[in-house]
Structure 1
Amino acid sequence: MSGATVVLAALAGVFGAQADTIAYWNFEEGPAGANVARGGMSDGVFYPAVQDQSGNGYHLSVWSDGGGAGYAYRTDVASPTIPLTGAPNNFSVKNTGGFPAMWTESPALQAWSPLTWTIEVSFQPELSDSYRTLVGRDSQGANTAGPSPNPDLAALYLQIQPDESLAIKFNDVSGYWHEAISAPGLVQGFTFSSDNDGLTGQWQSAAAVSDGSTLRLYYRNVELGEGWQLVAELDLTASGSPNTALTPGTGDGGDWDAGNFSVGRGLYAGGHTDRAWGFIDEVRLSDVALTPDQFLMVPEPSSLALGLVGFGIAVATRRRNRG
């Protein structure tokens, strides 16, 4: 195969993946050190500061202009360019206070209910003994079927757990709950009390993938130059659910709407919780089950081989009690 043919094939793969992108937030607005903008709006009022790079207009808002629930742009990034696309990667965002929150507010995205999907995120987290939701979806009351339904669960959590395991959990449109959880100790975090700038942190990436039959969770330590690892897997058909498409969510709250996606926080029992302190970057939602060679943070070819580490899968019935 000629060099030109190889390049064209690679480009075809890139653009094919982009064509299936529903929303993509790369936090490149900047400048460094500036708070993510609020446009003069009051706290909690949606302002589309973080632009959706997919072209679909599903922009992202922060809760406050800095302060307890805001974010600021940082030049600490996983890679100076995005490996899949070659696009510049100048900024990430880091929380400015103890209650960070970003969210979407679009009726079209609220209605999104795909059978096949991929959610990607890069992160450099703080160590904590709490749940930390990197990407979530707001809902209350959607878990109505399967063993021990818990109406307090939200629609989706891509999160770090107190034991530093990584998890993807979601409700489907039939009311069934599904989750795939890695082994403990997978995620590497920095200690805020001794390193509040995250200088000792490690950039990592996660990708949760559902093809309608199998739920897979991939992890990559970008800082260490590792390849993608399959760290958890779940047979969705074993639940008996007649339809494993992602629920658009149910319920409503004074500070959330069903179907909104959240970044940097979760929802439980209708309340904001599960704050993900630290750095976040490169959040992408796709309506196809991507493979690791199509992820944004695909490693160099020399480290592209997948590894399989020990993982554990359990049914989510645990009560969260964080504020």
Structure 2
Amino acid sequence: MNLSTRSTFARPACLVLCTWIALTCGAPRLAATTLAWWDFESDLATGSVVDGQYITHTTADGVHQDAVPDLSGNSNHLSAFGDGWGTGIYRQVVPAGSLTGSQFSVQNGGSYPSLSTAGDLDRSGIAVGELAEWTIEASVRFTSLGGYQTMVGKDGVGQAFASGDSAAAPLYFQKTSGNVFSIRYIDAAGYQHLLDGSTTVEADTWYNVAATSDGDSLRIYVDGNLDAAYDLTASGSSNRAMAALDESGQEGNSGPAYSWSLLRGMYDDEHRDRVQGYLDDVRISDVALAVDDLLNPYASALSLVVNTETGEVRIRNNGSTAISLDYYRIDSPTDSALLVDDYDGTSGWYSLSDQQVDASGDGSGIGETWDEAQASVLSSQLLVENFLLGNTTLAAGESRWLGVPVDVERLAGDLVFQYAEPGGSLKRARIEYTSEVASLPGDFNDDGTVNLADYVVWRDNLGVADEHAIAGNGDGAAGVDFGDYRLWRLQFGNTLDAASGLTASQVPEPTGGLLAVIGLTLLTQAVRKRVCRYFE
């Protein structure tokens, strides 16, 4: 069952079916050891790297020469197979919003790209051998989707003596010819285990992927979402640890020694299934990591910014390019810290539906703007809304304010934020917790109080392309517009306490007489509450 993909029409079902078992494991966990981590930010021969530089290899083809440093401290450095045709190229093409601060990835450098270790991975100078638990992570972007393409492999042949393909190597973490991610490994008892994911891989798209095994379950994660899972105990194997590398083996009995490999796999004792594209932040650990412990569990520069002092929340685009979304959900599975009630000027959810964001026509029809899930779905554990017939775009650096929908007294840090781009699958995005004193939405002259003077600032700047003219205290979208007026009206009378953030004043909402004087009768209609029948 695919927990990460949702189609335009099947999307609401995930509100009921989507689970978080991957995030909540009650069993005690082992202390994780990073066995190897390659980020392609430097070269041992040249030091720093530049875009277009080949990974250094000056020895004979197939002879190991340390080039790509291992960040784990275990000295599991990578070597290219040869110069040019058998190496990789450092490229300044990296995933958006990488948590590792990546500046470079590696691209296949020729017809036969290959990077490999010097035999088995070492841990404190000793070969790791069998791995009872493990995690393999990588960020990958394919430029061509043809055939099988192995991101991380392990050389060998004939180790699947109990079940499976006897010509197979001990490990493949790859994209299949059917364009899904796959993990295939042989265990110490000679059983081959295969798990294919369900996310359809697209060309020229970055994916943050991981495969994990705790000895009982085999899992694939794509962009922080559980993509597929397999019960290893059903295999009947007596030892489900990953088989040790045969360090005495050689390709074709006379070629290079067996190793762990990147950018290629091995089949029938020959190098095969080479990656066409880019690879970054490859890490191997000796424990089955939880999703939040992965290097890059997110695929986007989008984030949910949560103020832990005030409970204010914003969706923000931290990237350099625009991001569109037509669906999002905020989960608080443990803390139950979400507030479902409408924002009242002090607390509550100021949904995109309430704001009538990007409405077509008057926004009164189902799907013509954002629609909240029905009341029976929303709870202290879940806020969710979608835009059936359109979407909202956040420019680089732009954000959208969602009011104060978090009870900070209950919040211990369990929030999960997911969203979908139009026609795309569900993506997990990062949570940014901050305790900085917040700005005051609606305070357009930035004097700490929302009052009539702020209306004058808004009126005088209506139509300006960005919100600097209103001190950046608008709704975060489309420059100075009527959405900012709605926000000002909701916030009218509020003040900002320098120590604790947003506070409610005793000043009432603008009166009918004041609004009449203002003369914006087109905006005085109540914001309609819509319940999307597609959530039923």
Amino acid at match of 1:28: E
**Is 2:191 aligned against 1:176?**
yes
Question: How many Å separate the matches in 1 of 2:290 and 2:256?
Answer: 32
Q: Which runs of 5+ in 1 are unaligned?
A: 1-15, 190-200, 221-227, 310-323
CA distance in 1, matches of 2:269, 2:417: 41
Within 5 A, what are the aligned runs for 1:1-323?
20-29=33-42, 30-38=49-57, 40-66=58-84, 68-79=85-96, 82-83=98-99, 87-107=100-120, 109=122, 111-146=128-163, 149-183=164-198, 186-189=200-203, 201-220=204-223, 228-250=224-246, 251-253=249-251, 254-258=254-258, 260-299=259-298, 302=304, 304=416
Conserved in 2, the CA contact under 8 Å of 1:230 and 1:306?
no
Shift of 1:31: 1.9
Distance between the aligned counterparts of 1:130 and 1:264, measured in 2?
14
TM-score, structure 2 as length reference: 0.47
Q: Read off the aligned partner of 2:183 and give its amino acid letter.
A: I
Any conservation in 2 of the 1:170–1:179 contact (CA below 8 Å)? yes
Please say if residues 103 and 262 of structure 1, whose CA atoms lie closer than 8 Å, have aligned partners that are also in contact: yes
1:318 paired residue number: none
- The CA distance in 1 between the partners of 2:155 and 2:136, in whole Å, is 15
| Alpha-carbon offset, residue 17 of structure 1 | 10
Q: 1:42 to 1:107 in 2, by over 3 A?
A: same
1:4 corresponds in structure 2 to: none
Can you give the 5+ residue segments of structure 2 that lack an aligned partner in the other structure? 1-28, 43-48, 305-329, 331-415, 420-424, 426-536
CA displacement 1:91-146 (0-9 Å, x = unmatched):
01111212111111145545431111000000111233311000000110100113
Change (3 A) 1:305 1:154: farther
Compared CA separation, residues 117 and 305, structure 1 to 2 (3 A): farther
Contact 2:129 2:245 in 1 (8 A): no
The amino acid that maps onto 2:213 is: S
C-alpha distance in 1 between matches for 2:63 and 2:418: 42
Change in Cα spacing, 1:171 to 1:104, as seen in structure 2 (3 Å) is same
Q: Aligned partner of 1:130: which letter? A: G
Within 2, Cα distance between the matches of 1:107 and 1:215? 22
3-state SS in 2 of match to 1:257: coil
Give the percent of matched residue pairs that are identical in Structure 1 and Structure 2.
35
Which moves more between the two structures, 162-171 or 120-129?
120-129
Q: Which structure would you say has the larger Rg?
A: 2
**Whose RCO is larger (CA < 8 A, sep 6+)?**
1
Counterpart CA distance in 2 for 1:170 and 1:305 is 32
Rounded Cα–Cα distance in structure 2 between residues aligned with 1:305 and 1:210: 25
- 1:305 CA displacement: 5.0
Mapped partners of 1:56, 1:306: distance in 2: 36
C-alpha separation in 2, matches of 1:269 and 1:69: 20
Alignment check: 8 A CA contact 1:124 1:204 kept: yes
Separation in 1, partners of 2:141, 2:53: 19
Structure 1 distance, partners of 2:171, 2:114, is 16
- Classify 1:230/1:33 alpha carbon distance in 2 versus 1 (closer, same or farther; 3 Å): same
